[in-house]
């Protein structure tokens, strides 16, 4: 246990797991409460298309991932507001279109590029010091902004119209939330991978949702669960030589199902049925 902490790469990956676990579960609280799960899943694939394009052009992947991610959340935000089409349909189209772009970019590359696939499946054990710095910086940024605007974010998650009516600039806060979702996805892309990143956002927050009746408690529980699963997942993947992304996500999902089964809300519903 102690001996594995002597490896540099292990220290880095545990730190990355803590950061990603924390930032994903904090943003996840608002994603779950505001009902934006679909948007996030689409964003992960769009960000991956940005990464693929960057490798095709031979430029650093992070800026393009951010651009693609932001474009997707903002477009879906506008579509949600205008409500011209059902949101699940429009996001479904956007989601597959960005995935098609990613496959197209990969196809245009000459030969097999393992690094691109690293972003698809994620590998926390291969995080470089440089990447860790970026993850740290963006995590602090996202969590800091959430802290500053937490009362407005909670309010729009509870009822956006009511927030607007009582003098909160709700629309701008909604777009701020979308922006933070995109940044979170990009931060976590290398660690858990495009396919699984959204589990890290959804699962700890939905688990916490089962366990409490208070917004503040839900946030605390979500972070504890998110960080706990991420750290535990990294260790499991080290001990048993398993891929880290699935180890973290499957661990979190197990905790989620346990929470659904033992949820006080579930017990109360069962009481009410009698």
Partner 1 sequence: MATPIIRFTHATFGFPGVTALEDISLEIADGEFVGVIGPNGSGKTTLCRAVLGLLPPRSGHLQIFDCACQELRCHHRARIGYLPQKGVLDRNFPITVLEAVMMGRYGALGLFTRPDKQDREIALHALDHVGMQDHRNSALGHLSGGQQQRVLIARALAQQPQVLLLDEPTTGIDITTQHAVLDLIRHLHRDLKLTVLLITHDINMIRSYVDRLVLLKTRLYAAGPPAEVLRQDVLQQVYGKELVITEKDLIIVEDYHHHH
Asked whether the beta carbons of 47 and 196 are under 8 A apart, the reply is no
Query: Is the separation of the CB atoms in 135 and 20 below 8 Å?
Result: yes
- 213 lies in the site for partner 1, by CB under 8 A: yes
Please tell me whether residue 152 binds partner 1 under the rule CB under 8 A: yes
Q: Does 209 bind partner 1 (CB under 8 A)?
A: yes
CB of 146 to partner 1, least distance (A): 13
By CB under 8 A, tell whether 159 contacts partner 1.
Answer: yes
By CB under 8 A, is residue 33 in contact with partner 1?
Answer: yes
Q: What is the smallest separation between the CB atom of 41 and partner 1, expressed in angstroms?
A: 21
Q: Give me the DSSP letters along the chain.
A: -TGGGGSHHHHHHHHHHHHHHHHHHHHHHHHHHHT-HHHHHHHHHHHHHHHHHHHHHTS-HHHHHHHHHHHHHHHHHHHHHH-SS-HHHHHHHHHHHHHHHHHHHHHHSSS--HHHHHHHH--GGG--HHHHHHHHHHHHHHHHHHHHTHHHHHHHHHHHHHHHHTT--HHHHHHHHHHHHHHHHHHHHHHH-TTTHHHHHHHHHHHHHHH-S-HHHHHHHHHHHHHHHHHHHHHHHHHTT--HHHHHHHHHHHHHHHHHHH-HHHHHHHHHH-
For partner 1, the binding residue among 85, 109, 165, 258 (CB under 8 A) is: 165
Nearer CB in complex with partner 1: 63/169? 169
Query: Nearer Cβ to partner 1, position 140 or 215?
Result: 215
Q: Shortest Cβ distance from residue 112 to partner 1 (Å)?
A: 46
158 binds partner 1 (CB under 8 A): yes
Select from 217, 239, 242, 257 the one that contacts partner 1 (CB under 8 A): 217
Out of 126, 160, 212, 253, which residue is the one contacting partner 1 (CB under 8 A)? Answer: 212
With CB under 8 A as the rule, give the number of residues binding partner 1: 29
Q: Does 160 bind partner 1 (CB under 8 A)?
A: no
Evaluate whether 208 touches 221 at the Cβ level (below 8 Å). Answer: yes
Of 38 and 55, CB closest to partner 1: 38
154 binds partner 1 (CB under 8 A): yes
Looking at the Cβ atoms of 170 and 196, the one nearer to partner 1 is 170
Q: Shortest Cβ distance from residue 152 to partner 1 (Å)?
A: 7
Site of interaction with partner 1 (CB under 8 A): 33, 148-149, 151-152, 154-155, 158-159, 161-169, 208-209, 212-218, 265, 268
């Amino acid at each position: 246990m102690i001996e594995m902490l002597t490896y540099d790469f292990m220290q880095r990956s545990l730190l990355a797991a803590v950061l990603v676990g924390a930032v994903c579960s904090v943003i996840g609280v608002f994603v779950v409460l505001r009902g934006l799960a679909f948007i996030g899943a689409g964003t992960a694939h769009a960000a991956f298309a940005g990464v693929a394009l960057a490798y095709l052009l031979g430029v650093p992947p992070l800026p393009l991932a951010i651009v693609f991610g932001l474009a997707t959340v903002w477009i879906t935000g506008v579509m949600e507001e205008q409500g011209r089409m059902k949101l699940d349909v429009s996001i479904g189209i956007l989601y597959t279109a960005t995935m098609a772009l990613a496959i197209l970019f990969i196809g245009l590359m000459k030969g097999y590029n393992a690094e691109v696939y690293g972003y698809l499946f994620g590998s926390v054990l291969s995080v470089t010091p440089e990447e860790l710095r970026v993850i740290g910086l963006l995590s602090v940024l996202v969590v800091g902004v959430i802290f500053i605007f937490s009362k407005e974010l909670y309010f729009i998650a509870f009822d956006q119209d009511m927030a607007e009516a009582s003098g909160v600039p709700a629309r701008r806060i909604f777009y701020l939330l979308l922006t933070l979702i995109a940044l979170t996805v990009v931060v976590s892309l290398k660690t858990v991978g495009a396919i699984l990143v959204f589990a890290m956002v959804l699962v700890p927050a939905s688990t916490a949702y089962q366990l409490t009746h208070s917004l503040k408690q839900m946030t605390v529980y979500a972070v504890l669960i998110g960080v706990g699963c991420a750290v535990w997942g990294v260790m499991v993947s080290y001990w048993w030589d398993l891929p880290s992304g699935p180890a973290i996500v499957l661990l979190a999902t197990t905790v989620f199902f346990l929470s659904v089964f033992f949820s006080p809300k579930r017990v109360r519903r069962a009481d009410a049925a009698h």
